[in-house]
Each structure stands twice: as structure tokens, then as C-alpha cells.
Structure 1
């Protein structure tokens, strides 16, 4: 049975196809699927649409005691079955038995599953036992269970190592934010520069456009500053407090002050563990746990430096948190006192340097990852940022977009530098040439390496002339957003 994606679901074709295949599987065995992703990405919207399309059971858990959760589950089951009286369930073993009898060979969706685990940590083990019981007697009435959650650390542990559900799931779907091109289409922004500025604040989270700013989209570049003041910096708009809630909602975060300091350090440009430690005045060893928790929560990502085997860099994955840490946190009292105009005027240079600049670099890496094979002459295997030691100058040459080959371990497809507000010229190209030569001496294959300049402000005539003669790639905002 082919399930047509509802028109009200924007994009998400890949996610819908995966869910539809799972829900309509002809396998005679009971199946378990997991759906996760940070809050506000539209998981619930997708799952409700799936439940409607299949006639499946849908239940959203809330923060409640184990007894109260079981009672609400019984009410939902009775409503789905058309019973006037709620089902009285003894425990979760009983609940899963009744669930199976109610949906038969259909679909059962439990949203916000981590809330149930918080109230009763034994539930994953109960699910495991129920799945094993159903596996012993396959048939047409074997249900499909979909468990969904926004607490990334909790969902990640469901299938980890010795977890009860390890090896039981036949689908594990991660619902990510929209990429920057899809986000521009979703926000209906045609100007690439305006789209990049908006994306550097709200990223690709669908809910922020309608639910959080009421559909308020900047009309033009001239309207951007006013849009920031009247939305994200306005205490009367839900987006104002969202970054704080994103951190508070993670169940594993016990010391918000420490975690805010770590995020603030990263937002200020301190990407290594040592740099973060120095910035917040802690020992490097004391940050192992906070960094792991933030990584498990999906709020930061750890990326290895390809040119330094034991060095990793951290970046914040949620643009709104970067914006909050760089612009809002230190001016929170003033913002609550409705002084957004003054705060923004003072903070705009910081916004461009600490928010837009690094975000533009990340967008350029995303563009390189998705580039066709003919752009770099081979399929990119890894696209990361890195630093190359220059002994002669006793400095480090920062590479914003390093593209490594997928077929040869030490082959460099491209070395790139990204500048948001700078018209790039030959001096930027010379730095990339120097980096290429240093890597060649270290044994890397740079014979076909493209030198790439990514700019939000354009390129001077000398650089454009050089790009016509050598293996030089110029990527501006128009090319970045071209489909």
C-alpha cells in the first residue's frame, strides 16, 4: 500500500518514505522503529499525519507519574478502539498486551517516549520482553511499534551497548533541521544574503517560522535589523526564551551555569577542549563529562582535525543557541526591560563576527559535502575544518573547508577559506597555496587539489582573473544557494 505524503507536510520526502515503508511492511514479524530529533523539527507533525494515513494508534506521553501515565494510556487506547469506558491497565506489561490486541497488525505510535522512561525506567525492558514474545509467534496480526522522542541522549541510549532494545529495532530515523537551501524555501526568502543571515539565527527548525514568530519574515535586507529586534530580541515573542528552554529540556544537564559557560566559550570561538577550559577557568579534565552530555544531547558536535590526529574541535549545532550565547545572554536584563534596539545596535558587530562568520563557514562545508563529483574531481569523503602548522611563520593556517577524498586516504580534493564580510583577493589565495605546499611536504597528495575561496562579499578582479587560469574555485552566495 502506497501512502501519499499529505500536502500540508513541507519537504520531508525522505522521512515520509522511511516511515511509510515501515508502517506498511508486509513482514509477519512485529517490528520496532525509533524516531528521534531535537525539538521543534516536526516529528509530531509527521507522526500524526502517518497515524491518520494508516488508521494507527497515536499517544503522546507527558511528564507525569507512572500511575498517571498508565491511566492516560488506557484512556487513549479505549478512545482508539471506540470504547466508551477507559481501559483499566494493571501495569505496562498489561498495557503492551492490550496495545497489541487493540492495533492487531497495525501501527502503534508512542510520542515523547522518554517521559514514560523517566516515570518508569523498566519500560524498555518490558518492551523487549513483549517483542520477544511476539517474535515467537509471527503472523498477520503482528503490530508495528514506533517510539519517538526529543531527548536525544535518552533516545540514543535505547539501542546502545547492553540496552534492552539493542538489536530489536528495524528502523532508526533521525529527523534533522532543514538544510539552508530548504530553510530559505520554507521561509520564502529569495535573497541569498538575507536567507543566510536569517539561517544564522533560526537555522532550519520548521516550528520557528509559524509557532514562534507568527509567520513574521523579514521583507528585505533593509528589514533584517528590525526583524531581529521585533522577534528574537522581543520578550513578547516565544522565540525570545527558546534557547534557554532547549538547554533546560535536556534531562542529563544538572548544572545549567556550567553548560551555558561551555556553550558561551564555543560561541566565542574557542573550539578545542583546552581553549574552552581556559575561557571558563576550569581544568580541561573537568569538561569531559559536560562536553559528552552536550554531544549526546545533539547540541554540539565533535569534529576531528584531519591534520592533527589527536585534536578535535567542537561546534554548536543549534544556531539559536549560538546567537543567544553571543548576543543575548550578557544583555538579558536589558532585553527583558525592552531595550532590544540598544542591545542590537551594540551587539551587531559581535553578531557578524561570532555568529554569522562561523555559520557561513559551516554552510560552505555543507555545500562542499553535497557538491557533485565533477566539482572537485571526485566524491568528497570528509569535509571538515582544520589547521596546518607553518614552521616558518610559527603560525597555524586555518582551513575552513578541507575536502578529503573518499577513495584515497591522504588525497586532498580541496582546501578552502570562507569569509562572510570580506571581498577576497590574492592574499587569501596565497595562504591556501602555502597550506597546500606544507601538506605536500607532509606526504599528502595535493597534485589535483582545488583551492577554494568562499565569500559572502565577493571577489576582487585579480582573484577572478587567477581563477580562470588555475585550479581555483570561487563560491559566492548565489552559487551556495543554487540548486
Structure 2
């Protein structure tokens, strides 16, 4: 299938859909497409249906009977049979969808599938029965049935454990946000410093540029503050309330006040369960459930400590939600008043750097080490990249490591390929390198990792002084990684 010219990137997703849809093997097959809202799933699937002459149905939150009437009318308009469809139940509707693939492979998309399953919990079982291996309606069809949804908690359960559709799907596709490099290209921002700041606010969600900001991008580095004021902090734009709507649209988040408070705790720097519990003045056991629900919904991400077991930290997965809780929620009443955005932003810029931009920069550095750094220079392919705290028994202090690159274990101990420190606003020098050397020695003494070839990485948004450059020039185990490298080099 030819990818539409107006579709930015999504080459991997389009290729996966093309292989699934055009697969000539006999028998109807099932695919599941998921991803957070606003990532372009609907655009992707609708384009695939148009390219392959398929059928697309977008479900809405409605009673079961109304949804059956809607899909009857939609399929009637698509097929134009001698008499209109009037499906009595979903078993009849699914068989009609399978009949579309009687002559050739054809995509059939049911978008926002969780809405239908909420109104009729038996629907996954009905589809399971329709796709039974020896059933005539399945074997005689080459329909490529694609179920799509944005409720990650529901979609994650659809094919797991003892779920009816487990083992039935031939495609599981997750449409993820654009990474920092693709996001800069999508927003048409060539300056890495500006691109990082914009990415810390809106992340890699495509809809935030085209629909929500109406194509408004910063004209240059000096326009960033004005851009924030006229878009994200402007009550007249959809971006202003988007973070609130993202939470409200998750079906499993019933006590929204509690979930908002948990996210606010993380945005305020309380990244551990104990820290969140202290912020909320509750016991750690009391917030276990909301943390798990936010994780399942894809709004909170759990990061294991690379050096201490059972000491996970949490971060907000969607940058716009982190920006909302750190900058907007504390002064929401002021922001709702027209003309107040500029004043609020001037007072919030320091907090933006410390609570939003700094942590986001660290995460981008970890993502770069995992996905973009050359394994040949790293000394191996990373198995995982995390962060953590290394204890110094002599000084009785903990040393934070922003980036820990762990390789694939060939022997008793996995290799620690690299450790790194990330500073957004600081010009890094010899002291930062010496600190990393000391931490490497401490890790070696602990004996958990093989540190024989551990390299030292300094990530900086402000650059490096002459001493740092001199140290890197004479020591091949020292990396100085600036914004230009993060955005444009391996």
C-alpha cells in the first residue's frame, strides 16, 4: 500500500499494517492497534482502509442498540446491498464484516473498540467465537479485522491472561509518540535548544501541533516564551484544557481527585511511593492502587533503580500532563482569567526549568543512549538504560546517576557500558568527570556489574569548558554529549 504523502513518518506502523492487511493467506485474521490519544491512530487506520478499499467504523460512547444501528447504517452505505442491514446482535454484525473479505484481503477497522465492549462486555467473546479456527465464516474469509482503542488499560487486558481474544491476534501494534528527533522535525524546529524546550511542554504527540496549536510553532528561540503564552497557557486554545481531558477520558480513573493529586506529587519531585504518600499525607499502601491504575493507563511510568532493588521511582509519561501539574494547576484560577498568562509564565519560568525541563532533558538523554548511541562506541548493545542512586559507605551519602547503560550479560555479571550525568543549565567541567569516576569506583566495589569498560558520559544543554574538552581528548572513555549530538548524531 502506498503511504499517503501527508502522513508524517509512521513508516514502521504503515509497513506493519501493510504486511498484515495484504497477507494473502486464507482465513480471517485479527489485529489490535493501541496507543495514547492524539497519536494519529485514527488517521493511520482510516488511510489504510482508503488505500486498500476497506471498511472503517468509528465507535462512540453509546448504548449497545444504538451502536448496532450505527454499524448497520455504515456497512449499508459501504456495501450498498439490495436491502439495508439491520443487525439483531453483534454475532450477526461480525459475520457480515467477515463476509467483506470473501474475495480478497480487506481491512475492517473498528475504532474506539472499548466503547463497544463497555456497552456489551460479551463482544470480545463474540469475536473469539467468530474467529474459531474451523468455522466456515472464518476460513472462507480474508478479512483483516483491526480493533483499535486509546484506553490503554482496557487494550492491555484484551489479549492478556485468560482474555477471550488471547492467542487470536496476528498483529499487536502500539502507536507511540514521536521521539525527540522526529518531534523536532515534525514541529519544523532546527534549533536543538528550542526543540528540547518545546518537547518538554508538548512531547511527541502529533495532534498538538496541527489541530490543537493550529500549526503555531515558535518562530525562533526568542519566541518560545510568547509561544507558551499564546498556546498552552491560553484559555482560548484546546491545549489549555487538554491535560485535564486526557485524565477524564480514561475509563478506569473514577476518583479523579486522587489521581490528580498523585500526578501532582510526582510533578513536584516526589518520585517514590514514600514521597507521594508523604505529599498526600497518606500511607504508602493507600496509594498503591491509584499508582497501578495510572501505570496501566500509560500516564505514569515506573523506573527501576539500576543499583538498588525494590527502590523504583515514577515519572509522568505525557509531558503535557507534567507541564500542567507543575505550572498550570497550582494557579489555574489565575490562568482562566483572560490576559493573565504572561504574568503567570514570568513567575513560573524557574519552576519550569527545575521541575519540567530538567527532568525531561534527563529522560531524553536516557532515550538517546538506548536508541541512538552507536553500540560500537558504547562497547555493546544496551539491554536497558535507567538511573539510580549509588551508595558511598565511607561518606554515608547517596550519589545520583542520571544515565546508567546496562549491557547484555554474557557471564556472571552484566556489563555496565556507561554511566552519565545530565545538566540542562550547567556548563560541565572536570569536576563532573571526576564525580563520575568516583561513582564508577563505588559501583565496582559493590560488585553487581562488570565495570571493566564502563564509559563516562556528560550530557549538557549549556556546553562544556576547556578542561572537560581536554579530558575527553586524552581519554577515550569520556563522552561529551551536547544538544547537537542528541538531535543529529549517533
How do 1:32-431 and structure 2 match up within 5 A? Answer: 32-83=30-81, 86-104=84-102, 105=104, 106-132=106-132, 135=135, 139=139, 141-338=141-338, 339-370=340-371, 371-408=373-410, 409-431=413-435
Deviation at 1:407, TM superposition (A): 3.6
Maintained 8 Å contact 1:397/1:431: no
Is the aligned partner of 1:460 residue 2:460?
no
Report SS of the residue matched to 2:124. Answer: helix
- Paired with 2:316 and 2:101, the residues of 1 have a C-alpha distance of 41
Is the aligned partner of 1:448 residue 2:446?
no
- Paired with 2:81 and 2:222, the residues of 1 have a C-alpha distance of 58
1:28 matched to which residue of 2?
Answer: 26
Report SS of the residue matched to 2:474. Answer: coil
Maintained 8 Å contact 2:203/2:320: yes
4+ residue runs over 4 A deviation: 133-140
Maintained 8 Å contact 1:30/1:134: no
Maintained 8 Å contact 1:413/1:446: yes
Deviation at 1:140, TM superposition (A): 5.4
Candidates 11, 15, 20, aligned match of 2:9: 11
Maintained 8 Å contact 2:98/2:137: no
Maintained 8 Å contact 1:29/1:134: no
Maintained 8 Å contact 2:408/2:414: no
2:479 matched to which residue of 1?
Answer: 473
Deviation at 1:143, TM superposition (A): 1.6
Report SS of the residue matched to 1:132. Answer: coil
Deviation at 1:138, TM superposition (A): 5.8
- Paired with 2:273 and 2:206, the residues of 1 have a C-alpha distance of 32
5+ residue gaps, structure 2, are: none
Structure 1, residues 2-54: CA drift from partner, whole Å, max 9, x if none?
Answer: x1211111100000000000101111121100000000000000001000011
Deviation at 1:86, TM superposition (A): 3.8
- Paired with 1:352 and 1:86, the residues of 2 have a C-alpha distance of 59
Maintained 8 Å contact 1:34/1:172: yes
Deviation at 1:397, TM superposition (A): 0.6
Report SS of the residue matched to 1:298. Answer: coil
Structure 1, residues 116-151: CA drift from partner, whole Å, max 9, x if none?
Answer: 011111100100010116656764533211000001
Maintained 8 Å contact 2:100/2:143: no
- Paired with 2:137 and 2:114, the residues of 1 have a C-alpha distance of 29
Report SS of the residue matched to 2:167. Answer: coil
Deviation at 1:283, TM superposition (A): 0.8
Deviation at 1:103, TM superposition (A): 4.0
- Paired with 2:414 and 2:203, the residues of 1 have a C-alpha distance of 33
Structure 1, residues 150-192: CA drift from partner, whole Å, max 9, x if none?
Answer: 0101111101101000110111000000010000000000000
- Paired with 1:392 and 1:193, the residues of 2 have a C-alpha distance of 39
Deviation at 1:313, TM superposition (A): 1.3
Maintained 8 Å contact 1:56/1:103: no
Candidates 423, 433, 438, aligned match of 1:434: 438
Deviation at 1:101, TM superposition (A): 2.1
Normalising by structure 2, report the TM-score: 0.96
Report SS of the residue matched to 2:188. Answer: coil
Report SS of the residue matched to 2:385. Answer: strand
Deviation at 1:329, TM superposition (A): 0.2
Structure 1, residues 332-377: CA drift from partner, whole Å, max 9, x if none?
Answer: 0000002101110111100000000000000000110121112211
Aligned length: 481
- Paired with 1:365 and 1:144, the residues of 2 have a C-alpha distance of 37
Maintained 8 Å contact 1:77/1:102: no
Q: 1:335 to 1:138 in 2, by over 3 A?
A: closer
Q: Which moved more, 1:81-90 or 1:351-360?
A: 81-90
Q: Give the superposed CA RMSD.
A: 1.3
Structure 1, residues 407-442: CA drift from partner, whole Å, max 9, x if none?
Answer: 444311101000001111122122211110111111
Q: Which moved more, 1:111-120 or 1:85-94?
A: 85-94
